[in-house]
Amino acid sequence: MPKIFVTRPIPEMGIKMLRDKGYEVLINEAAKERAATLDELKDGARGADAILSVLTDKITAEVMDAGLPMLKIVANFAVGYDNIDLGAAKQKNIMVTNTPGVLTETVAEHTFALMIAIAHRIAEADRFARAGKFTAWGPELLLGTDLCHKTIGIIGLGRIGSRVALHAAKGFGMKVLYYDPNPNPDFEKEFGAVYVANIDELLPQCDFVSIHVPLLYPVKSSEAGTPKELFDRVNSTYHLINEERLKKMKPSAYLINTSRGPVVDEKALAQALKSGVIKGAALDVFEFEPEITPELKELDNVVLTPHIASATIGTRSRMAELAANNIIEALEGRTPPNLVVK
C-alpha cells in the first residue's frame, strides 16, 4: 500500500482523496502551527512513496535521500516551489508538482485588499478608532490616496499579475504598466496595458507597484550547466526591489508584495519607508518569515498580513485537492497535471 507523508496538516478534502485510494497517509500533526523540522521531514520521508509538502518546509536533497528508493513525487501545496531543491529532485528522478491556477483569484483579491488598505489607511484608521482617538469628524482626518485613475506597475504578468491587472484596469480605471521577460501583446490590447522593457524605467512612472514574480535565486557557479528550464536564473528575482530601485519610485508611491519575501530587500524597504523615499507598503510575505523586520512593525505607513493571500476556505481546499490529485496521477503511472520537474 503506497505511503504518503504530509508535512503539515492541510484541508481534509485532500487527505480524504488519498485515503479513499487506500493509501496510508501519515500527517505530521506536530507541525500544526509551525514549520516541520528537518528531523520530522526525514523521518516522515522514510519509506514514503510521496511527500505532500507546504511552503514552510524545505525539501532538500537530504530529505529526498531519506525517502529513497521509494520516493517518487514531492507534491507542493503552493504555486511557488522555492522551498524544494529542484536540481536534486531532477537528479534523483523525483517528480515535483505545484498547485497553480486555483489560487489566482484569491491572491489577486488579497493584493487589492492590501492596496486599498494602505492607500485608504484602513489598518491605521482601525487602530486610531480603537484607541478612542476619534473625537470628531475632521476635514483632514487620515487623508488617503485614491486608486482610481492612478498608474499601477505590475512586475510579473503571469496568472496572478494578469488578474490584478484586470481588477486595476476594469474595476478601478487604473492605467496598467507591466514588466515581464515575456511580453503579452494580446493582454496589452485587451487592457490598454503598456509594456515597459525594464523595471528601472517602470518604477518612476507608477503610483502603485505590485510584485507577482516567482522567487528565483541567482545562479551559483556549482549550478552552471544545469538544465535551463530548472535554473533560468539569469532572471533572478532575489532582491529584485533593492535600495537603488526603491529610490527610483515616486515619493508618493506604494509597494505591494504578495509574491515571496526575498524578492524585496526588507531592510532597505524599512529604511525607505522611514525616510520617506516611498509613501507606503503593504506586504503579505517577508524576507525572513515568520520573522518580520522590527522597524516595519513600528511604522504606520505599512500594512502587514502573515502570508495569507491564498487563505480562503474554498481556495485552500482546492489546493489540497490539486496536490492530492497530482500524487494519485503519479502513483497510478500517469503524468501529474502540474508537473514542475520530471
Residues that bind ligand NAD (CB under 6 A): 79-80, 100, 103-104, 107, 155-161, 179-182, 212-215, 235, 237, 258-260, 284-285, 307, 309-310
- Of 4, 34, 60, the closest CA to residue 320 belongs to 4
Query: In this complex, which beta carbon is closest to ligand NAD, that of residue 48 or of residue 107?
Result: 107
Query: In this complex, which beta carbon is closest to ligand NAD, that of residue 25 or of residue 263?
Result: 263
Query: In this complex, which beta carbon is closest to ligand NAD, that of residue 63 or of residue 240?
Result: 240
For residues 312 and 104, the answer to whether their CB atoms sit within 8 Å is: no
- Minimal distance, residue 260 CB to ligand NAD, in Å: 5
Per the residue annotation, which of 120, 233, 239, 307 is the catalytic one?
A: 307
For residues 258 and 304, the answer to whether their CB atoms sit within 8 Å is: no
- Minimal distance, residue 140 CB to ligand NAD, in Å: 34
Distance CA 228, CA 231 (A): 5
Told to judge if 307 belongs to the known catalytic residues of this protein, a careful annotator would answer yes
Told to judge if 212 belongs to the known catalytic residues of this protein, a careful annotator would answer no
Query: In this complex, which beta carbon is closest to ligand NAD, that of residue 5 or of residue 187?
Result: 187
> How far is the CA of 59 from the CAs of 42, 216, 237, 238, 329, in angstroms?
9, 16, 21, 19, 21
Query: In this complex, which beta carbon is closest to ligand NAD, that of residue 9 or of residue 80?
Result: 80
Query: In this complex, which beta carbon is closest to ligand NAD, that of residue 151 or of residue 315?
Result: 315
- Minimal distance, residue 167 CB to ligand NAD, in Å: 14
For residues 283 and 305, the answer to whether their CB atoms sit within 8 Å is: yes
Q: b/e for 130-157, b at 16 or more Cβ within 10 A? A: eeeeeeeeeeeeeeebebeebbbbbbbb
For residues 191 and 165, the answer to whether their CB atoms sit within 8 Å is: yes
- Minimal distance, residue 231 CB to ligand NAD, in Å: 13
- Minimal distance, residue 107 CB to ligand NAD, in Å: 5
Per the residue annotation, which of 121, 289, 316, 329 is the catalytic one?
A: 289
Distance CA 184, CA 189 (A): 9
- Minimal distance, residue 267 CB to ligand NAD, in Å: 20
Told to judge if 120 belongs to the known catalytic residues of this protein, a careful annotator would answer no
Distance CA 4, CA 50 (A): 5
Query: In this complex, which beta carbon is closest to ligand NAD, that of residue 25 or of residue 209?
Result: 209
Amino acid at 295: E
| 3-class secondary-structure state, position 253 | coil
Per the residue annotation, which of 8, 245, 260, 316 is the catalytic one?
A: 260
Residues in CB range of 131: below 8 A, 6 or more apart: none
- Minimal distance, residue 164 CB to ligand NAD, in Å: 9
Q: Which is it for the CA torsion 109, 114, 115, 121, positive or negative?
A: positive
Measured from each CB, the residue nearest to ligand NAD is 158
Provide DSSP, 182-217: S--HHHHHHHT-EE-SSHHHHGGG-SEEEE-PPP-P
Q: Catalytic positions, please?
A: 260, 289, 307
